[in-house]
Amino acid sequence: MTSLVVDAITDPAIGYASDNWRSKLGRRHPFLYAAVVPVAIFYFMIWLPPTGLGETGLFFYLLLCTIAVRISISVYEIPSTALIGELTADYDERTSMLGYRYFFGWCGGLAMSCIALLLIFRPTREHPIGILNPDGYGIYGATAVVLIVASMLISSLGTQRAARAFALPPARKLRWRQVPREVFETFRDRSFLPIFLASIFLFLIVGLTSALFFYVATFFWGLAASEIALFPIVNFASAGAALIFAPRFARRLDKKKAAIRLMVFALLWSPIPILARLLDYFPENGDPWLVPLLIGHAAIDTKVGISVGILISSMTADLVESSEIRTGRRSEGLFFASRSFTQKTMSGLGVFVAGLLLEFIGFPQNSGAGVSPYTVDALGFLIVPIVLALYGCALLCVTRYRIDRGQHEANLAVLATKRDMSGGRA
């Protein structure tokens, strides 16, 4: 809860600051470079806490490290994502660029999952469930830091030349009391609230299902660690498919219509395996068809989920011109700060809800003691309606979004006229 309160303050502040920053490196890149070292230090510290702290000391150590990591990542992630709105104003090109961003983000996360499951957290005699082996966490932290820092630097340096050519915000004296007013003025856009609420529900799904993945895979489906490791490997293909599919689907239908159709499909598709198992229409655990069917379902489910994320992010980018017409300011940083905040908040809330669900069904804390079939079935019975309800809420929110291709092009035309009338300064 403490870290969420901090995020509620720091994320909009970072977005607002990067929207108004003036430097030779551009608006965003000073933040990108400033975040690299803190992210590396504090992320590694999380995985290797000092010994002898005691429960209270360890709690405050992890709390401070977590807050520091979240702030540091926000300092990088918010300005980095906001660059999309500056790199291109084209309706379709934004979706394509965000597709690449999601693709590489997913590939990085999936690569770490594969490395962790196959190389670092390997089962031993003392720890038959590899992810419970405490000796692997320091190695995992060091490996992750190397990959994170490399990706941050490659992305920052790769976009630096383009950023130097972007127009800087007008020089003005900012007073603290005007900051909240401008933030709320920006967020009053009529299409912002629907996309913000949709993001809340979608990220809550991600947090909940991610937190329960190993429980469902291990106890509901009875999969071994080597079989679980196949899922992130197959999801590489899903990320690649979404990279190609999402922009093309949006180009054909428009972003809003494409997102709605994909979410309807996800609502119908996602619960099929668990529902089929609960109704005795799915292969039993250990059946040779079980893993192929689960992997095939997950591959399509992940492709659709990534595609929805790409489209929602692209729809967020299109808020910038709508807001600029109304406020006279470009606020990419603020809009993507709201998305960053919902992602962190709802992912964390999803983990919390997952814990409540496990406690509600009486899932044993020491799973080595055995889990009853009743408890396993209860897990499935709870997951399905919750995920369906969240998808339904997100779908309703997206239907209220107002910016389509025609509206976006009209917004660009209005801004072009304003720039011409002001001699190119608007």
Q: Which residue ranges form the domains of the chain, and what is each CATH number?
A: 2-165+190-421 (1.20.1250.20)
The whole-number pLDDT of residue 403 equals: 95
The 8-class DSSP code of residue 368 comes to G
Q: Which residue has the tokens 């992630």?
A: 77
Tokens read off for 329: 């300011």
The whole-number pLDDT of residue 368 equals: 54
The whole-number pLDDT of residue 38 equals: 96
Q: Say which residues have a Cβ less than 8 Å from residue 116's Cβ, sequence separation at least 6.
A: 131, 136, 140
The whole-number pLDDT of residue 173 equals: 72
CA distances from 275 to 96, 202, 214 (A): 35, 21, 18
| CA 269-275-280 angle, 5° bins | 135
Side-chain half-sphere CA neighbours of 124 within 13 A: 11
Radius of gyration for the chain, computed over Cα atoms and rounded to the nearest angstrom: 23
Confirm if 384 and 275 have CB atoms less than 8 A apart: yes
d(CA 35, CA 70): 11
d(CA 190, CA 201): 19
The whole-number pLDDT of residue 178 equals: 77
The 8-class DSSP code of residue 217 comes to I
CA distances from 297 to 269, 273, 287, 289 (A): 8, 8, 16, 12
CA distances from 39 to 70, 77, 138, 241 (A): 8, 11, 16, 30
d(CA 99, CA 121): 31
d(CA 378, CA 274): 11
B/e letters for 60-74, b = 16+ CB within 10 Å, e = fewer, are eeeeebbbbbbbbbb
Q: Which residue has the tokens 């006229």?
A: 417
Residues of the chain with pLDDT under 70: 1, 129-130, 172, 174, 366-370, 423-426
Amino acid, res. 223:
L
Among the listed residues 419, 421, 398, 388, the one whose alpha carbon sits nearest the alpha carbon of residue 204: 388
From the CB of residue 139, how many other CB atoms can be counted at a distance below 10 Å?
16
The whole-number pLDDT of residue 370 equals: 67
What is the per-residue DSSP string for 46-113? HHSPPTT-HHHHHHHHHHHHHHHHHHHHHHHHHHHHHHHHHH---HHHHHHHHHHHHHHHHHHHHHHH
The 8-class DSSP code of residue 156 comes to H
d(CA 59, CA 294): 38
Length of the chain equals 426
pTM of the model: 0.89
